[in-house]
Amino acid sequence: MENNGFVDYLNTLHNEQANNENALAEAQQNNPYFKKVKVERPEAQYIANRIETGENACLMILTGHAGDGKTTLLFQVLEKIARNISDIKVVPSGELLTNQNKKVRYIKDFSELTKDERRLSFKKALDDAEIGIYTILVANTGPLIDTFKDVFPDQDDAESTIIEQMDSSQAKETDLYGHRIITMNIARIDNTTFVSEFGQKIVDESNWEHCSTCDKRDLCPIAFNAQLVRQNKSALHFLKSFYIWEQNLDNRATIRQITAHLAFALTGGLNCTRVHQRVKPSWKAKYLFSNLLFGGTQSGGSAAFQIKGVQMLSQSRIDVKNTSRDYEVLVQRNYRDLFEPALVSLCNDLEKIPNQSLDVKRVLKRMLIVFPLGDDLRYEIYKDVFSTYYPDFLECAEGKSPNRKMKKMILRALRIMFTGEDIDLNESILITLRRSGEQIQNVQMLIGRIAETDIHIELQKIPSVSDENQKYKLVLRCAENEAITINMPLLDYFSKISSGLIVADIDPMLSHGIESLKAKLIAYCKPITTDPNEVSLLVREEDSWKIVRMCFEDTSIESN
């Protein structure tokens, strides 16, 4: 028996066990398997082009959180520009000449330097730019902010200045206190496309050719997982969609965490030796990709829950939410309409497994969520386990225009948000002031209106260093005013109140988004009257609403 070394490599990418030596970028650079699964970042090409074609040298800062892929990005840049590849070394700092004969210095471990060393290195990088030498500096956000303040002690706004640079989702090239500096905060860049790109690479057939001659290939859960993910796009689509969902909830995963999650979901911590010695027919279900994404069949105290992605997916409780197909899969066992043939066969085998050895219902439910058969079923399942409009939100992010149903829902939600009811007078959204804490108030002060024809729900391009994998955001635009972003939590809130639900439990981030939206719409609305002596009220009479104008004149009040 000869092991598939790629399986051993995958097990070094996650921390379910103690042998995760390839989790760090430095260890990856000389690993032959890394070259097969490496995902090229468009940001690397942007930086390389800026160095090779730019007229003026500058300091380039790659910042972000630990595990965001800063070091990997640095090495990708160096590989693109180095005249001699041998000049690229996995050392704390180094220098090389580019193909265009430009000198580039790089500091990989800036955050690990002492405070004085960081200040001196930063100053030298600024001075080097003046004589045509580029410096690429890799730093975690905290040490970078502290160093920036130390280098510019006379600038009262130094801290806010560097934070503003880091707050952008694109590379910002700016003149800061007389110095050209490019700041790229990797933590602000959408990394969810990495899920599908990396996932496709690790299940590529070239990595699994060795398994074709293995006498355990028909029982091996690892090879089975690789085949399933390779043949079913729905698996990676689900995981990418989940990370987009979490990102919209301000719970972003790093590249390292995504890598670990995918690697563990393929192997479950198993290796070839263990499979050869102990494999059982039930292992295909126990170690199924869809099951391992959630941590497998173990409780929250198992080693798998050290993996951040497993924690996130388990805590979301997506796998316990009801779907419209639960009865079909759990009771009727109508597998053929729900899964592809290999999974149908596995489902039939599950019925022979004793209930006490495996939670069959949980395995089936997770399978339905991760491996639904066809786009229509996936759309249906996502509506159930995420949110009613989440499939549409995902399509909008890829550039598909919002449909009429979504637009009508948002308009209805806006009417309810201000008045407490779906009041549609003169095809306008009525902007009122009413007591907080009351859903319905029979008399409300009317301060303005917005014609529904002035409200547009549209897409806006998200700025990026590359046109590759262009992403869009959903926005609300009122006439010619500034667009207001509609993120997933806000869209979900609109969907709920539009359907008549009273949403009481609102987290601070969503609450801020709602109040910010209200404030902007109040600023954009047209007044009902310009007469300073006139007040307009929205009044409910039995089952209808009407606008009452009250005019104050001397000591009398007139209404119409």
Please give the full DSSP string across 80-124, using - where no structure is assigned: HHBSSGGG---SSEEEEEBTTS-EEEEETTGGGS-HHHHHHHHHH
Give me 79's structure tokens: 């590989």
| Rounded percentage of the chain residues whose pLDDT exceeds 70 | 94
- The answer on 158 and 55 residing in a single domain is yes
- The answer on 429 and 358 residing in a single domain is no
How much is the mean pLDDT over the chain? 90
Please list, in sequence order, all residues whose beta carbon lies within 8 angstroms of the beta carbon of residue 239, skipping any fewer than 6 positions away.
195, 199, 261, 262, 293, 370
Using left for φ > 0, alpha for ψ between -120 and 50, and beta otherwise, residue 177 falls in: left
- The answer on 513 and 415 residing in a single domain is yes
Give me 331's structure tokens: 């009771």
Look at residue 530 in the predicted model and tell me its pLDDT.
76
Flag whether pLDDT at 535 surpasses 90. Answer: no
pLDDT digits (tens, 9 = 90+) for 283-316: 999 999 999 999 987 655 578 889 999 999 999 9
* Torsion over CA: 171, 173, 176, 181 (sign): positive
- The answer on 455 and 363 residing in a single domain is no
- The answer on 405 and 330 residing in a single domain is no
pLDDT digits (tens, 9 = 90+) for 420-460: 888 888 789 999 987 766 667 888 888 899 999 999 999 99
Look at residue 1 in the predicted model and tell me its pLDDT.
60
- The answer on 138 and 238 residing in a single domain is no
Strands (E), 413-461: 428-433, 443-451, 455-461
Q: H-helix or E-strand containing 419?
A: helix 404-419
Q: Average pLDDT of 384-389?
A: 98
20: confidence class by pLDDT, cuts 50, 70, 90: low
Asked whether the beta carbons of 5 and 33 are under 8 A apart, the reply is yes
Flag whether pLDDT at 526 surpasses 60. Answer: yes
**Structural domain count of the chain:** 3
Using left for φ > 0, alpha for ψ between -120 and 50, and beta otherwise, residue 314 falls in: alpha
- The answer on 472 and 323 residing in a single domain is no
Instruction: Report which DSSP code applies to 526.
Output: B
| Full 3-state SS string of 130-170 | HCCCEEEEEEEHHHHHHHHHHHCCCCCCHHHHHHHHHCCCC
Asked whether the beta carbons of 68 and 98 are under 8 A apart, the reply is no
- The answer on 287 and 202 residing in a single domain is yes
Q: Average pLDDT of 473-498?
A: 95
Place of tokens 């050392």: 91
Asked whether the beta carbons of 294 and 312 are under 8 A apart, the reply is no
Q: Residue 263 domain-assigned?
A: yes
185: confidence class by pLDDT, cuts 50, 70, 90: very high
Look at residue 416 in the predicted model and tell me its pLDDT.
92
Strand order in the sheet with 103-107: 93-97, 103-107, 134-140, 59-64, 179-185, 172-176
The pTM of this model reads 0.92
Q: Residue 13 domain-assigned?
A: no
- The answer on 540 and 491 residing in a single domain is yes
**Beta-bridge partners for 478:** 455
Q: Average pLDDT of 12-23?
A: 68
- The answer on 369 and 450 residing in a single domain is no
- The answer on 418 and 308 residing in a single domain is no
Q: Average pLDDT of 361-365?
A: 93
| Rounded percentage of the chain residues whose pLDDT exceeds 90 | 68
Distance of alpha carbon 549 from alpha carbon 560, whole angstroms: 6
- Domain finish residue from 155, 188, 221: 188
- Domain finish residue from 156, 188, 220: 188
Q: Residue 273 domain-assigned?
A: yes
**Beta-bridge partners for 540:** 545
Q: Return the CATH number at 40.
A: 3.40.50
Query: Helix-strand-coil percent breakdown of the chain, rounded to 5?
Result: 50, 15, 35
Q: Residue 10 domain-assigned?
A: no
Ramachandran angles phi, psi of 63, nearest 5°: -125, 175
Angle between helices 255-267 and 308-316 (to 10 degrees): 80
Distance of alpha carbon 232 from alpha carbon 245, whole angstroms: 21
Longest dimension (CA), the chain: 101
Distance of alpha carbon 59 from alpha carbon 496, whole angstroms: 48
| Domain assignment of residue 205, given as a range | 190-386
- The answer on 200 and 131 residing in a single domain is no
Look at residue 357 in the predicted model and tell me its pLDDT.
62
pLDDT digits (tens, 9 = 90+) for 85-130: 888 877 788 999 999 999 999 999 899 999 999 999 999 999 999 9
Give me 317's structure tokens: 């409780």
**Helix/strand/coil for 250:** coil
Which position has the higher pLDDT, 534 or 397?
Answer: 397
Q: Residue 1 domain-assigned?
A: no
Distance of alpha carbon 184 from alpha carbon 171, whole angstroms: 5
- Domain finish residue from 167, 188, 209: 188
Asked whether the beta carbons of 523 and 503 are under 8 A apart, the reply is no
Flag whether pLDDT at 24 surpasses 90. Answer: no
Look at residue 439 in the predicted model and tell me its pLDDT.
67
Q: Residue 283 domain-assigned?
A: yes
Q: Residue 65 domain-assigned?
A: yes
pLDDT digits (tens, 9 = 90+) for 209-237: 999 899 999 999 999 999 999 999 999 99
